[in-house]
Amino acid sequence: MKRFLKMDSSFRLCFAAIAFGFVFITNGKLSSGTTPREADPPQASYLAFSPEAAPPAMSDMDDEFVPYKPVPPFVPEFPVFIFYLGERKHDDPMLVTQSHLQILKSVLGSEEAAKKSMVYSYHHGFSGFAAKLKPAEAEKLKSHPEVIILLENRKLVMQTTRTWDYLGQFSTPTSSKGLLFETNMGNGAIIGVIDSGIWSESGAFDDDVYGPIPKRWKGKCVSADQFSPADCNRKLIGAKYYIDGLNADLKTSINSTTEYLSPRDRNGHGTQVSSTVAGSFVSNMTLPGLPSGSIMRGGAPKAHIAMYKACWDVEGGMCSVADVWKAFDEAIHDGVDVLSVSIGGSALKSLDVEIDIAIPALHAVNKGIPVVSPAGNGGSRFSSVVNVSPWILTVAATTLDRSFPTLITLENNKTFLGQSLYTGPEIGFTEVISTNDHSNLDQITKGKVVMHFSMGPVTPLTPDVVQKNGGIGLIDVRNPSDNRVECPVNFPCIYMDLEVGSELYFNIQTTSSLKIKISPHKTIIGESVATKVAKSSARGPSSFSPAILKPDIAAPGVTLLTPRIPTNEDTSEFVYSGTSMATPVIAGIVALLKISHPNWSPAAIKSALATTGFVYVSSKLFSH
């Protein structure tokens, strides 16, 4: 049984809106003058991650739970602390910043020390500041009458072709009705994306069919490392970056040898999200396994994009709260209509609604800017949902009505189905071995198909390693998963759920010299494929109380086709999965709704999306 969103005739959509359960939101010495401050002894409690907060790899590919082994956290001499002061008391941003310096001066003793300490002044959308302080100094400032909340600079992590047809948003010439065409495909909307940057040269950000940039736009494109205002156009109308908060708390600062110190995307996540929310039409997709001539586009293909790079290619993708808050602050000022924020922390363990993005998101929503964020990739674990504040539109991920079954045939005519994107020639009956030992692969894999169980404490065996050691295919058996890992071109890597893989393994082990045959995959689309909540998508209820439903809605977030940044890979597009990918799907629809109903508040848009579902029951042939 599934619950799908169905809108009225003015915006006919079809989302998976699954009810997951209920969620509740809700001593150093002070220096004087310019004398250098002495650092307090390292405090292990600051910036230490709990097991649940350990950042996962941003690829969203492995959704099995691996116990986190804590390591002693690096503690900077002067950690970054964030002070929230509420609404601005001055219209002039400079006066707001000056008031922040005066607060810092009350503890540090001089304006020069205050300026040196300050990392950011939040003076557009709300009032607050981030500063490098000794813990004792931060505690003293906490009691200042203007300080409402003090929080540490936590680390956050970053959590298509068929998608829009699946949702009923057809873009063919014959589909002249519906929300997409009623809003001229989002023309005039400005979507802000807080993420890892953008690769502006991608065809997804061409501006051939765009009119002028809206006059109300106050943002800009900055000039920095391998990025200039010339890299922007009528599609990408804003690009900024924020790194000071993260660098201040890292043992080794990020530099231009490992990242672009600019809005340019090194990680790829931001480019994927931006293209999904508002990518232009791109034809002739090159990904093996998808129909030739496929067209890729975003949810609001004629909307403008503004990128606020606050996440960096560190440990798979990391963002600091201080940098994310600054991105929110400037996005509110610049005039975005919607914010797509595919990042999050850990599930709440106490009544800390102020952490992560909740406070700046509240100010954005109060100014009429909907904020769309992911439910997280905590999998089916109880109370793993993140971004649970009631004013945030929290998105879970579902599979599409698309499957890539790959047939494996044994010499005794038994058949087994896996999933892959393999389109090469049939692999004739070949010997298969099963191993989790990587030490002698070059001696045992040559000319064979390798069967590997990717569970428990074993090191995953990747397709490129098997191919490098002479193997001709990989059968990767894992806990049930909706995600796929990229394979080398024309190299078969088949993914099997544990139950099917175990049965295949049993047949191979109990039959002497049994060989297998691997056929190219088939692509099945439509009614014969079951859609469901992705196994990696986080579940409710909140770790607090079952008062408010979260996630609010679910959207396709598995095997979405997006562009990727230039690398040594063979194609310029690939499929990605996770609630990070589902978030821009909803954000694009939100942008269309804002154009169709300009007087609707963020709450009205959220209500329209989350409360207009219908019960849908189906028994499908294929369920990923």
**Residue 45 pLDDT level (bands cut at 50, 70, 90):** very low
Q: Band of the pLDDT at 47, cuts 50, 70, 90?
A: very low
CA–CA separation, 119 vs 82, rounded Å? 9
**pLDDT higher than 60, residue 224:** yes
195 CB-contact burial (10 Å; exposed 0-12 / middle 13-18 / buried 19+)? buried
The model's pLDDT over 252-309, given as tens digits with 9 standing for 90+, comes to 899 888 899 999 999 888 998 998 998 887 766 655 555 555 667 788 899 999 999 9
- In this prediction, residue 620 carries a pLDDT of 46
Mention every residue, 6+ apart, whose C-beta is less than 8 A from residue 239. 197, 198, 200, 221, 222, 227, 231, 232, 263, 306, 307, 309
- Active-site hit among 100, 269, 363, 521: 269
* Cβ-based neighbour number of residue 450 at 10 Å: 25
List beta partners, residue 432. 449
Tell me which amino acid residue 381 is: R
Provide CB contacts within 8 A for 4, sequence distance 6+: 14, 15, 16, 17, 613, 614, 616
- CA 61/CA 59 separation, integer angstroms: 5
* Lowest-confidence segment of 169-173, 227-231, 392-396, 537-541 by average pLDDT: 169-173
DSSP per position, 377-441 = S-TT-TT------TTSEEEEEE--SEE-EEEEEETTS-EEEEE----S--EEEEEEEE----TTH
- Encode pLDDT of 421-432 as tens digits: 777 788 889 888
500 three-state secondary structure:
helix
269 an active-site residue?
yes
Percent with pLDDT over 90 in the chain: 35
Q: Are 258 and 327 in contact (CB under 8 A)?
A: no
What the chain holds in terms of domains, given with CATH numbers, is 2-21+157-399+532-608 (3.40.50.200), 405-522 (3.50.30.30)
CB 329 within 8 A of CB 194: no
Active-site residue, selected from the candidate residues 60, 62, 63, 195? 195
Q: Phi/psi class of residue 255: alpha, beta or left (left: φ > 0; alpha: ψ in -120 to 50)?
A: beta
Is position 580 annotated as part of the catalytic site?
A: yes
Q: Is 497 exposed, middle or buried (0-12, 13-18, 19+ CB in 10 A)?
A: middle
Task: Decide which of 408 and 332 is more confident.
Answer: 332
Structure tokens at 600: 């609707």
pTM: 0.75
- Calculate mean pLDDT across residues 564-581: 58
pLDDT for the residue numbered 98: 97
Nearest to 75 by CA among 248, 320, 242, 244: 248
Beta bridge partners of residue 354, listed in sequence order: none
262 as an active site residue: the answer is: no
DSSP-assigned states of every residue in 203-260: GGG--TT--PPPTT----B--BTTB-GGG--SSEEEEEE--HHHHHTSSS---TTTS-
Checking if the pLDDT of 351 tops 80, the result is no
Q: Which residues pair with 549 in a beta bridge?
A: 22
* Confidence category of residue 11, pLDDT binned at 50, 70, 90: very low
Arithmetic mean of pLDDT over the chain? 77
